[in-house]
């Protein structure tokens, strides 16, 4: 399987550095343009099937990426962003996220999904895709946190020790193979 991983286009919350999580925010005008530019960069790339988070920002990005193509799209909750609970919508700079991505750590904020739960659901989604499409080129349109979990799935812990090694900026494509 060849996986083409792309993060959604920019949102207003991205611009304001607010923690989004599962809040269903829209793309900004710049995010729409990012998605259109990414579509152009992928125009000659064969894609057999696409999966996306069901949140608006990924659905819209996916639609723009595949506009005019006959590619089946499946929206899957396993690829929505991590649930950050009461931390969602707050300025990232004001939050203590020091242990947020540590395996085995107890979530610091009420309602936050643990790292183990989050990575587990993303891995289960990737396992299911691989089981159904082992010889296909798959587009996965998702979120920044999910991009980190996907990196761990394919490559293991980052060599630098920093999860940021796997974190995708808005509308950047990264390719993985299994």
Domains of the chain from N-terminus onward: 2-177 (3.40.50.1240)
For residue range 116-138, what is the model confidence (pLDDT) as tens digits? 999 999 999 999 999 999 999 99
- pLDDT at residue 10, rounded to an integer: 98
- pLDDT at residue 160, rounded to an integer: 80
Greatest C-alpha distance within the chain: 45
- pLDDT at residue 125, rounded to an integer: 98
Active site (annotated) includes residue 23: no
What percent of the chain clears pLDDT 70, i.e. is strictly above it?
100
Choice among 8, 88, 113, 143 that is catalytic: 8
- pLDDT at residue 162, rounded to an integer: 79
Continuous segment of H or E residues that includes residue 3 = strand 2-7
Mean pLDDT of 18-38: 97
- pLDDT at residue 136, rounded to an integer: 98
**pTM across the whole model:** 0.96
- Averaged pLDDT score across all residues of the chain: 95
- Rounded to whole angstroms, how far apart are CA atoms 13 and 92? 10
Active site (annotated) includes residue 81: yes
Choice among 30, 81, 94, 175 that is catalytic: 81
Q: Model confidence at 102, in pLDDT bands (50, 70, 90)?
A: confident
Q: Model confidence at 49, in pLDDT bands (50, 70, 90)?
A: very high
- pLDDT at residue 12, rounded to an integer: 96
Number of residues that this document lists for the chain = 178
- Rounded to whole angstroms, how far apart are CA atoms 84 and 86? 6
- pLDDT at residue 161, rounded to an integer: 76
How many CB atoms within 10 Å of residue 155? 12
- Rg of the chain, C-alpha, whole Å: 16
For residue range 141-159, what is the model confidence (pLDDT) as tens digits? 999 999 999 999 999 988 8
**Has residue 56 got a pLDDT over 80?**
yes
Q: Model confidence at 98, in pLDDT bands (50, 70, 90)?
A: confident
**Residues 2 and 172 sit within 8 Å (Cβ to Cβ):** no
């Amino acid at each position: 399987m060849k996986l083409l991983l792309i993060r959604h286009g920019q949102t207003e919350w991205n611009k304001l550095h607010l923690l989004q999580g599962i809040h269903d925010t829209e793309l900004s005008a710049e995010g729409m343009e990012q998605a259109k530019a990414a579509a152009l960069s992928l125009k000659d790339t064969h894609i057999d099937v696409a999966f996306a988070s069901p949140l608006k920002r990924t659905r819209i990005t996916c639609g723009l990426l595949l506009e005019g193509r006959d590619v089946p799209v499946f929206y899957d909750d396993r690829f929505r962003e991590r649930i950050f609970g009461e931390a969602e919508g707050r300025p990232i700079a004001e939050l203590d996220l020091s242990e947020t991505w540590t395996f085995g750590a107890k979530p610091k904020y009420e309602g936050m999904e643990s790292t183990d739960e989050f990575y587990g659901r993303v891995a289960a989604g990737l396992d299911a895709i691989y089981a159904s499409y082992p010889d296909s080129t798959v587009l996965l349109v998702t979120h920044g946190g999910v991009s980190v979990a996907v990196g761990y799935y394919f490559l293991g812990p980052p060599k630098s020790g920093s999860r940021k090694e796997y974190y995708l900026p808005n509308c950047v494509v990264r390719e993985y193979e299994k």
